[in-house]
């Protein structure tokens, strides 16, 4: 299941990230992939700007009201800041299953560029029942199974900036994460009305106890 997380970064957060990015030099994105046809730029992971911007992105993701219930994170990898300029793209691929000896279950893309500043550059995800394209507002994010075939479409105008990270989830199976998210959402609505039954709470937490690793 794919989860759109709105307003992960505020306008002030975005301004801070862009300031940090502007102080650094992007390098060839092929340094982190052997996939033929990958054509983008990225900040070196060890650079000061990338680390500070990545820390801010992770803090805001962790604080987002839907992030925990959507992905049940055990570990979140330091974000990679990517840049796609005119003509750049990343063809169909599946993310690595293991990164630094940790399983990568969920991929997360946080969009950093205003929509009117570029054209193209959609994140295209194979849903198993056709493709779905995402081109979100700056500061919004999408989380989706890292096992999903996906690509970044060619940029036709401007520059597309994004922070990309991966999550090792406490709940390995994407279908089970989807069930838990639906249950949590239903519980939240019922709690707001003062009508959340104890048995539903019990079932939710017992499913996590059953499925968590």
The pLDDT of residue 118 is 98
The pLDDT of residue 1 is 82
The pLDDT of residue 46 is 84
The pLDDT of residue 129 is 87
Residues 143 and 108: beta-carbon distance below 8 Å: yes
Q: Tell me the pLDDT of the chain (213 aa) as tens digits.
A: 899 999 999 999 999 999 999 999 999 988 766 666 789 999 998 899 999 999 999 999 999 989 999 999 999 999 999 999 999 999 999 999 999 999 999 999 999 999 999 999 999 999 888 999 999 999 999 999 999 999 999 999 999 999 999 999 999 999 999 999 999 999 988 888 888 788 888 999 999 999 999
Which region holds residue 138: left if phi is over 0, alpha if psi is between -120 and 50, else beta?
A: beta
Q: Which residue has the tokens 């793209």?
A: 89
Question: Which phi and psi angles does 195 have, rounded to 5°?
Answer: -125, 20
Most distant CA pair in the chain: distance in Å?
55
Supply the Cα-derived Rg of the chain in whole angstroms: 18
The pLDDT of residue 161 is 98
Residues 139 and 111: beta-carbon distance below 8 Å: yes
The pLDDT of residue 35 is 67
Which region holds residue 184: left if phi is over 0, alpha if psi is between -120 and 50, else beta?
A: alpha
């Amino acid at each position: 299941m794919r989860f759109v997380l709105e307003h992960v970064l505020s306008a002030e957060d975005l301004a801070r990230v862009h300031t940090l990015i502007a102080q650094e030099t992007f390098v060839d994105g092929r340094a982190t992939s052997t996939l033929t046809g990958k054509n983008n730029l990225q900040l070196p992971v060890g650079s000061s700007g990338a680390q500070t911007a990545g820390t801010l992105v992770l803090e805001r993701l962790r604080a987002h009201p839907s992030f925990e219930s959507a992905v049940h994170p055990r570990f979140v990898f330091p974000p990679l800041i990517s840049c796609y300029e005119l003509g750049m793209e990343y063809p169909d691929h599946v993310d690595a299953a293991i990164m630094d000896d940790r399983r990568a279950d969920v991929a997360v893309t946080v969009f950093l560029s205003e929509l009117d500043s570029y054209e193209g550059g959609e994140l295209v995800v194979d849903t198993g029942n056709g493709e779905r394209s995402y081109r979100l507002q700056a500061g919004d994010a999408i989380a989706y199974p890292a096992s999903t075939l996906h690509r970044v479409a060619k940029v036709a105008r401007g520059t597309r900036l994004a922070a990309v990270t991966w999550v090792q989830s406490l709940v390995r199976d994407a279908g089970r994460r989807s069930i838990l998210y639906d249950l949590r959402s239903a519980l939240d609505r019922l709690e707001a009305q003062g009508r959340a039954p104890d048995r539903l709470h019990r079932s939710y937490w017992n499913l996590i106890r059953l499925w968590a690793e």
